[in-house]
Amino acid sequence: MDKLVERDPAPRSPLVAAPALAVQFFLIPLAVIGVTILVYLGFRSLLTDQRSPQDYLTEIQTGGTTRRWPAAYELSRLMADPAVRADRTLGPALVKAFESAKDDDPRVRQYLALALGRLDPPLPDRAIADLKVALHDPDSEARIMAIWALGSSGDQSVVAELEPLYTSPDAGIRKMVVYALGALPGEAQLDTLRTALQDEAPDVRWNAAVGLARHGNRDAVPVLQQMLDRRYVEETVTRNARPDADQDPVADVMISGLRAIAALKETTLRAPVEELSQQDRSMKVRQAALEVLKVMG
């Protein structure tokens, strides 16, 4: 009997192995990438909303409870676009929607007030009257948005409606009232702004100082100088910077103070402005300080 000899398996041809390798190392990863791209595009198609302002207005007026306030929010975001604001037919429709929302979800009223405030002045007929009514809304956030919208209207006649609200115990209301008074033209509100320089809430004092600077009033200078003191502002501001959102509330306060100083051309504060332009750790603050120095000459 022939001796059985153990034989090695025949070597595999590279040509035979190639298709398997191609499937393992190329086609499967390619398929995974393709599926990932399809999923991504699917989500993008869901998130990308091509609806017009009129579409959102229709949803606000006819949509369900859970759809009206998101539509109002998206509409208020669209109003930041000058091309959208250029549509003069949009104002009256916004006023109508705002009137219809008086008993709706407070968030609908908030975002519609924000949308009205973003219209280019002058506001449509009845808008000012409706926003004045909203100053007595039971929801404080809706009142704050109405105050902001009136401050953005450029209508000097609303000063008389806003000034009494400064006596509110709500610091958020006072802060927005002072901001609105500072943004409006005229001098009737200057006494209230001077009073607000002594407010117990730092945000209110800062808004008062910036508002007075807009009106060329130097009573704001002591508070503006405090706004340039990083250590003071850091001890006062309770909000933290968000690294994912490129927001630094301390820097925002300081930059607001710097811009107000530029509006006044307050050369007595040149020294702290120069120091910020050279030593502050925020490059945005440094840049704002350099711009102020240019204005000062």
Percent of the chain scoring above 70 in pLDDT: 81
How many structural domains does the chain have? 2
Is the same domain home to 199 and 293? yes
Is the same domain home to 59 and 149? yes
Q: What is the pLDDT of residue 23?
A: 46
Q: What are phi and psi of 6, to 5 degrees?
A: -75, 125
Q: Which two tokens stand for residue 297?
A: 């000459």
Position 60 pLDDT exceeds 80: yes
What does the alpha-carbon distance between residue 22 and residue 30 come to, in Å, rounded to a whole number?
11
Is the same domain home to 208 and 134? no
CA-CA distances (angstroms) from residue 204 to 42, 66, 68, 100, 291? 46, 35, 33, 33, 25
Residue 210 in domain: yes
Q: Which residue has the tokens 């109508």?
A: 96
216: CATH? 1.25.10
Residue 111 in domain: yes
Is the same domain home to 123 and 218? no
Q: Which residue has the tokens 């009514």?
A: 133
Structural domain ending residue among the three candidates 128, 154, 180: 154
Is the same domain home to 293 and 232? yes
Residue 168 in domain: no
Q: What is the pLDDT of residue 65?
A: 87
Is the same domain home to 66 and 149? yes
Task: Please write the tens of the pLDDT for every residue from 181-207.
Answer: 999 999 999 999 999 999 999 999 999
Residue 135 in domain: yes
Q: What is the pLDDT of residue 238?
A: 72
What does the alpha-carbon distance between residue 148 and residue 116 come to, in Å, rounded to a whole number?
10
Residue 9 in domain: no
Is the same domain home to 203 and 289? yes
pTM above 0.85, yes or no: no
Maximum pairwise Cα distance, the chain? 123
Is the same domain home to 144 and 229? no
Task: Please write the tens of the pLDDT for every residue from 212-249.
Answer: 999 999 999 999 999 999 999 999 997 655 555 567 89
Question: Do 162 and 129 touch, CB atoms closer than 8 A?
Answer: no
Structural domain ending residue among the three candidates 154, 170, 205: 154
Residues 6 or more apart in contact with residue 182 via CB below 8 angstroms: 151, 189, 193, 207, 208, 210, 211, 212, 214, 215
Residue 175 in domain: no
Burial label for 191, CB within 10 Å (0-12, 13-18, 19+), is: exposed
Structural domain range at position 204: 195-239+247-297
Is the same domain home to 56 and 106? yes
Of the CA atoms within 13 Å of residue 133, those in its CB half-sphere come to 11
Position 96 pLDDT exceeds 70: yes
Residue 253 in domain: yes
Is the same domain home to 202 and 280? yes
Residue 132 in domain: yes
Question: Which amino acid, one-letter code, is at 31?
Answer: A
Is the same domain home to 126 and 211? no
DSSP string, the chain: -PPP---PPPPPPHHHHHHHHHIIIIIHHHHHHHHHHHHHHHHHHHH-----HHHHHHHHHHS-HHHHHHHHHHHHHHTTSHHHHT-TTHHHHHHHHHHHTTTS-HHHHHHHHHHHHTSPSSPPTTHHHHHHHHTT-SSHHHHHHHHHHHHHS--GGGHHHHGGGGG-S-HHHHHHHHHHHHHSSSSTTHHHHHHHTT-SSHHHHHHHHHHHHHTT-GGGHHHHHHHT-HHHHHHH--PPPBTTTTB-HHHHHHHHHHHHHHHHT-GGGHHHHHHHHHH-S-HHHHHHHHHHHHHH-
Average pLDDT over the chain, rounded to whole?
A: 86
CA-CA distances (angstroms) from residue 153 to 74, 79, 175? 21, 14, 18
Is the same domain home to 131 and 67? yes
